[in-house]
Structure 1
């Protein structure tokens, strides 16, 4: 069969559904600018959109989940997740019904965003995102319970839906199928690539890229015979050259970032090369072909830099995903992209996907937006660095900044010093006050259980967050319940063992339970985990009650863009209705 399409790019389950991920449009824009024929497919969105309808939800509730609950799960947590999903659907059926939930989804897709100001509608919208999160787990176990060549006893509808999508992919018959993969997409992507080649006999090449393949480059080829190539880091130039190579015009040896098998089966890893700045000056992300009317929020992601300018936090393993130094774009180029997206797609709300927004870049972007009187609003992640002052944050607000998620981690200076965060609680408090007075909504990211953290340190963090929420300096996030994730590749993990081979910070450490995971299990020394868990549990109940009483919206990862939508609505700027 003739291959008319050069590349089919896939984003598989599981990801968020409020707005599109940046990876596919970024690759598509670059490749199309170089005259490569590209089709991009957000398989995660297409499947979830179908499942979030009355017939599918009914089958999940009456057939799929009850059957799964009868399975002999090897992991208690997996069983609990299925049980919680079933209970959620049971509550929905009794209180509102699945048909109403589908109507709310369609209202969001139709951009009837003013309905979010209605408390009942907002609660239903939050349920949609909770279901989406539970679907992430369901799709993560699909490889273990589903085979397209046999009867899928857990869900006939899901079997037909997935088979239909695979058939569509095979019918396109591209030269390359490219999978963009983050951690949550790994199991489904590996399974799907296997199905495409082994069951559906796809004869083209399969390429894996993204943060997960970047961490485990050669392992993907070693363990998966159906994967032909892996691209580490930024993949634009590598994909372009790979198309030329497979058409017989170039050699694989000269393609940067490419991992492949030579004629003898030996795995070869080519050298890295930086491209970000050149890529964006040549082309902007291209969203054409994605079902933009099916996402639940009119928001686009945008990238102003790669890697982190600090790169010293002891718990962080981002160095396994980003092999280069911090690399940022020109502010005028960033704003030009925002203007392009507004002109072409009517998008004026943006979520910066950078590791952090620095003072200098944020000010430059804000000045241009203010000078040109552009209607853009944006949110970003930020470090509570000394460089932020009142004037800076006021400039941010005037330039469209409305929400900043600040990485505090802990409100104990002792713990922050151990983490090598490079910040202090006093400076963090100052920044939060200045940002709030400027009009920016602060969100404080915290977690617990860093080595050496005491119960008193946890209480300090709780008091700090509660004080700022009650004073109006922050809107709540309930992240403190998250414990330290001990990641292979982080400075902390490198220091786990002392020179004599004894554990330094933990009573016990287990290697990750999967070859594709960098998350190690551990037991903390001087264990006060139970007491911390109890204290945090009380705090979370208290915070939820406070927010319910004061009608404060709490966003989580699946619907974080709703903070921006609410800002847009309350400022009377929403023009989608």
Structure 2
């Protein structure tokens, strides 16, 4: 918490003061949501929340969300936490429905947030965690990157993130994803995934896509390759998957032809006994 006011060592303070706060003040924004998907984002996120609370009186509510902050709230926030000096709530697990319900409650002027699912909030010096819902739908809206300074990213060509599924179909013993994402494994039709890639290509000119699925199933990677290859489009992409007997040399050749240039595999061990203890549900002979 000391770093939040340390202007010597916290570079985010001056950055936010020049890049963000004036816009919030000028547009009189009333709600701010900040995503914290990794531990490395925590200081920057709470720094921003602190500055907003101190310098942006129009903002009525600051909410954090994302994988990492969900795990932090779930595991560590049993009692009052200093974060709540600068934030009003934490949206745990998937955010689509909780966010809509939270905005409806705030818009109605209702200070009682107990009805908002998956919400962690403070009241009277205590922490309250509302009822949890498990979402079953998948948001197939075309992502909107308007407003991002896409030309300023340090990469030779624009890369945009897309996903084809939520959650993971396997619950490995060591993994934090099932506990922080929520809901069951659900997937988008590959035809819709390809359509989204085409729409993003038309709008932003990108040919390179990063699949951010927790696990991009091998069979679905093959189906995407079929869509791209049949269209004749020049796309490049990468993703993360699990070892599977369906991933043959022929399949890899097809995937490469479609523009896939990198696949990350979850290889935690090459020992079957250890894999079984981790509940990986993979076989050493699949790894090769």
| Alignment TM-score > 0.5, same fold | yes
Distance apart, 1:267 and its partner CA? 1.7
Report 1:393-412 matches (<5 A): 393-412=252-271
Q: Which string of whole-angstrom CA distances, capped at 9 and with x for unpartnered residues, describes residues 197-232 of structure 1?
A: 146556410111101222233629831233212211
Residue 150 of structure 2, aligned match among 278, 292, 306:
292
Partner Cα distance (1:153, 1:398) in 2: 50
Partner Cα distance (2:79, 2:235) in 1: 43
Partner Cα distance (1:356, 1:268) in 2: 29
Give the secondary-structure state (helix, strand or coil) at the position aligned to 2:5: coil
Q: Give the structure 2 partner of residue 193 of structure 1.
A: 49
TM-score scaled to structure 1, two decimals?
A: 0.44
Change (3 A) 1:221 1:239: farther
Q: Give the structure 2 partner of residue 308 of structure 1.
A: 168
Q: Which string of whole-angstrom CA distances, capped at 9 and with x for unpartnered residues, describes residues 477-521 of structure 1?
A: xxxxxxxxxxxxxxxxxxxxxxxxxxxxxxxxxxxxxxxxxxxxx
Change (3 A) 1:424 1:265: closer
Relative to its length, the structure with more helix (as a share) is 1
Q: Give the structure 2 partner of residue 161 of structure 1.
A: 15
Give the secondary-structure state (helix, strand or coil) at the position aligned to 1:321: helix
Note if contact 2:238-2:262 (Cα within 8 Å) is conserved in structure 1.
Answer: yes
Give the secondary-structure state (helix, strand or coil) at the position aligned to 1:341: helix
Q: Give the structure 1 partner of residue 204 of structure 2.
A: 345
Note if contact 2:94-2:181 (Cα within 8 Å) is conserved in structure 1.
Answer: no
Partner Cα distance (2:151, 2:92) in 1: 31
Note if contact 2:12-2:47 (Cα within 8 Å) is conserved in structure 1.
Answer: no
Structure 1, unpaired ranges of 5+: 1-142, 430-577
Distance apart, 1:381 and its partner CA? 0.9
Residue 248 of structure 2, aligned match among 389, 405, 430:
389
Partner Cα distance (2:12, 2:229) in 1: 48
TM-score scaled to structure 2, two decimals?
A: 0.84
Give the secondary-structure state (helix, strand or coil) at the position aligned to 2:261: strand
Residue 130 of structure 2, aligned match among 252, 269, 274:
269
Aligned length, in residue pairs = 279
Q: Give the structure 1 partner of residue 61 of structure 2.
A: 205
Note if contact 2:168-2:215 (Cα within 8 Å) is conserved in structure 1.
Answer: yes
Partner Cα distance (1:263, 1:341) in 2: 46
2:102 aligned with 1:242: yes
Change (3 A) 1:387 1:214: same
Residue 118 of structure 2, aligned match among 238, 248, 257:
257
Partner Cα distance (2:118, 2:202) in 1: 34
Distance apart, 1:176 and its partner CA? 0.6
